[in-house]
Structure 1
Amino acid sequence: MATSQCPDRGGLQHDGAFQPGHDISDLIHHPTYSWHLIGWLVSLVCVAVVWIVTVVIIIRHVRHYWNPDTQRHKLRVLLYPPVYSTLAWFAYLRYDYSTTIMFFATVFEAFAVFNLYKCLQAYLQPFRDEAGDVKEPITTKVMYIYKLHVKSKWGMHYRIINDILVYQFPIWSVLDAFMSIFAELKGRYCEGSYSFKGAYVYLTIINFCSLSLILTALFAYLAVYHDEWRRGKISAHGMFWCVKGPIMFIFYFGEILLTILSTANVIQGTDGSHSADGIAWPAAAVKNGLYVIVVCGTMLVDVFLMARYFGPREDIKQHDSKLEGTKLSPWRALYDAYIAYIPEFFFGLLCCGYDSYKLAKKRVELRRRKKQEKQQTNVSMRQIS
């Protein structure tokens, strides 16, 4: 967490003597002196509601598990709001260990992005099979601003380039979390400080670039396959905002804005004179508490959007209309969705790397052919002349 000096003494714990009180009776006897308790309880209520809604959606999914290709990814994405908000709430209790705690939250965030993309790919696969080897060029506008031309939207070139731009975000998110912990151990992290002596400012800049890349890639992806989403009645945009919306809001308002306010001394610490337990709160702890409230409030809104766009309603309707398919049992559904998760994640990353190698090899071969054709053309022109 942020400290008064950068670099600092290092270690995963800072300001170890700080231990906020959580005596609920203070809310009754000293309500105006217990704002940290109010924030703590508000966050707890948000987390509880998020878990209840998520569990209900998951139970409905496993009871109607007709489409494993898409439902397995939906079930994995559904864990994002409750797990992320729960870990953030624990960081409220022990802000001095928040970097370590939020490492696990970052991992779940990365997995949610990965499974959002895999879910959209699964929805798109029937259209890809239908197109086959057809080269279908398309020109579209991304967010009504940038004009994008793709020579073949079903070709390997666009698919692999898009995979790279999307997968870089979860890969970087995990690496960022490890580097944050390592820098914290060495006293070089300096969270909440835009001092260039600490790693926090550099990681924030890279995070901003990584987030911008994946947003551009996904916006383009939604635009390029707009007709397919419409034909299949797929709520691709709604699914996109369920995952990327909270990430963007938390990053821009929970991290960047709060850090700016803290740097500008708008967010300040307390000396304990206006606290029921008499404990002084460092500015970093106040900022962390506000950050957790932002996270929990955002996830509370997001889980209800998840119920709409990642719920099983469309899968049930699709099965009832076709009256075909095999439903997995609830236990097999849970195994398919969660137990087989990690191997599939790393397999997807390995496939992306292999596909990138094939694309690079193909581009080298194309350049070689063009060079040979150009040389043959020049020789022919000289012979004619």
Structure 2
Amino acid sequence: MDSGNSTAAEESCPSTGGFRETGPFGLPGFNFVDVWQHPTYNWHIVGWLVCLLFLLITWVVAIYLVIRHLRNYYDPEIQRHKLRILLYPPVYATLAWASYLRSDYKVTILFFATLFESFAVYSVFSCLQAYLAPYREEAQGRKEALSTKVFFVFKVNLKSKWGMHYRIITDILVYQFPIWAIIDALVSVITQAKGYYCGSSFSFHGAHVYLVIINFTSLSIILTALFTYLAVYHDQWKDGGIPSHGMFWCVKGPIMAIFYFGEILLSGLSYAGIIKGTDGTHSADNLPWTAEEVQSGIYVIIVCVTMCIATLLMMRFFNVDQRMAKTTADDDEGNYQPLNGQLSPHKLSAWMAFVDAYLVYIPEFFRNVLCCGVDSYRLAKKRIEIRGRKKRGVGLSDAGEHMLSSTTSQQQQGTNPMPTKESESSYPMSSPYPPTANHYPPHQQPSPY
């Protein structure tokens, strides 16, 4: 019988195309009676039960929080994003758990998990933007320079934290992650069908290694952008009592843990031969397990545990605000207390809240991504205009200094300077005065620009 200890390096790339991965892994049996008598021969059942336990906890907590928001939907601008984020851990964990049962379809199943992950990142950033909206409206584009440190190491200097430049650049750096996540999922499925994914190897003949590199770069970019975003508006989060860091870690924490530990670390351990397969002699089904299949099972356990922890943290950071919670089941008005005029005193019904939170989700996502593209074009156009203005300003400044120095020299010689065509063109033709400083009052001296 084959040993099953083959490493990822031995797999050929490209491989046979198709959504199902070929290999010795069959459909193992689930004899729950035998697992108590011979647990070491049924590790796949033990892992499956552990994942199921954490999955049930995740779903119970998530559904409780969703129902609580739907019954107390007073602030749509904030709560619609929270409701969307709350479904991210249970849905992602469920899809990962399904890939545990059918690891031969793992790439196809995790395609949908990646989509939910990208939408969750978009939603948490949108939620923070909604919290910041009143402060942005109050600033009204006010130019407020800021200098802060990120991680107490990197210094960031902004000419205006409320300006269009920083806002649009942050949007671009954040939205690139969900957009790339969608592209990544599509590329994974297409290359898997063609046999060029090679997920169990680090061969540069397959798409997997390139996707990992790009994912690492994309994740690093969005983490830097969001950490900077949290640092720039630190005073606003503190002033409004907004748990921005807690909300951030509830979403980005699982993504980082799954990517760095579930993908990179486990792949490295499998490639180095530390994670090994079995030859089937110690299996109730006598099925050999390759190192990749053992790695896949550990990966799913990491996902389910991580998502369960994230959901429990969401009970604190994504729960209904106590000012809006109902006092009793029959209290339709609730405990609503207006806070600086930002919370709407009109509660939506549970069905309308469901429509607002979920049914308009996808159109809103693509609309905002499109608007980000339009804003990026506006920003590029504005930058070009500013550069052109600066160049013209430098030229006019040099010309002005030359004219003033010429005028001063002629005054020292006691002559009456005659205006030249160059000097006349530097000032409006409608001006009744010649282009010299002597004909203007002190408070109306013309600028050399």
TM class by shorter chain equals over 0.9
Contact 1:66–1:319 (CA under 8 A) maintained in structure 2 = no
Contact 1:66–1:315 (CA under 8 A) maintained in structure 2 = no
CA distance in 2, matches of 1:236, 1:305: 13
CA distance in 1, matches of 2:267, 2:200: 5
The equivalent residue for 1:6 is 13
Residue 63 of structure 1, CA deviation = 0.6
Equivalent position amino acid for 1:122 in 2: A
Residue 267 of structure 1, CA deviation = 1.1
Range that drifts further, 249-258 or 322-331: 322-331
Q: Does 1:182 align with 2:198?
A: no
The 5 Å alignment of 1:124-135 reads 124-135=132-143
Equivalent position amino acid for 1:192 in 2: S
Q: Does 1:92 align with 2:111?
A: no
Q: Does 1:54 align with 2:54?
A: no
The equivalent residue for 1:23 is 31
Q: Does 1:368 align with 2:376?
A: no
CA distance in 1, matches of 2:243, 2:108: 35
The 5 Å alignment of 1:171-250 reads 171-250=179-258
The equivalent residue for 2:447 is none
Q: Does 1:273 align with 2:289?
A: no
User: Stretches of 4+ moved more than 4 A in 1?
Assistant: none
Contact 2:89–2:307 (CA under 8 A) maintained in structure 1 = yes
Residue 30 of structure 1, CA deviation = 1.9
Equivalent position amino acid for 1:374 in 2: V
Contact 2:323–2:337 (CA under 8 A) maintained in structure 1 = no
CA distance in 1, matches of 2:273, 2:82: 42
The 5 Å alignment of 1:142-161 reads 142-161=150-169
Residue of 89, 96, 108 corresponding to 2:116:
108
The equivalent residue for 1:320 is 336
Residue 186 of structure 1, CA deviation = 1.8
Q: Secondary structure at the match of 2:337?
A: helix
CA distance in 1, matches of 2:83, 2:130: 14
Percent same amino acid at aligned positions?
56
Equivalent position amino acid for 2:348 in 1: L
The equivalent residue for 2:174 is 166
**Structure (1/2) with the larger helix percentage:** 1
Q: Secondary structure at the match of 2:336?
A: helix
Alpha-carbon displacement from aligned partner over 1:243-263 (angstroms, at most 9, x marks no partner): 000000010000000000010
Residue 277 of structure 1, CA deviation = 1.3
Residue 115 of structure 1, CA deviation = 0.4
Alpha-carbon displacement from aligned partner over 1:282-327 (angstroms, at most 9, x marks no partner): 2211110000000000011110001110111355269633296100
CA distance in 2, matches of 1:133, 1:22: 62
Equivalent position amino acid for 2:195 in 1: G
Query: What is the alpha-carbon root mean square deviation over aligned residues?
Result: 1.6
Contact 1:10–1:185 (CA under 8 A) maintained in structure 2 = yes
Alpha-carbon displacement from aligned partner over 1:170-212 (angstroms, at most 9, x marks no partner): 0000000111111111211111322222111111011000000
The equivalent residue for 1:36 is 44
CA distance in 2, matches of 1:100, 1:83: 15
Which protein is bigger by CA-based radius of gyration? 2
Q: Secondary structure at the match of 1:321?
A: coil
CA distance in 2, matches of 1:275, 1:371: 76
Q: Secondary structure at the match of 1:322?
A: coil
Q: Does 1:80 align with 2:88?
A: yes
The equivalent residue for 2:402 is 382
CA distance in 1, matches of 2:79, 2:252: 19
5+ long unaligned stretches in structure 1: none
Residue of 311, 318, 337 corresponding to 2:357:
337
5+ long unaligned stretches in structure 2: 1-6, 326-333, 407-449
Equivalent position amino acid for 1:209 in 2: T
CA distance in 2, matches of 1:191, 1:262: 12
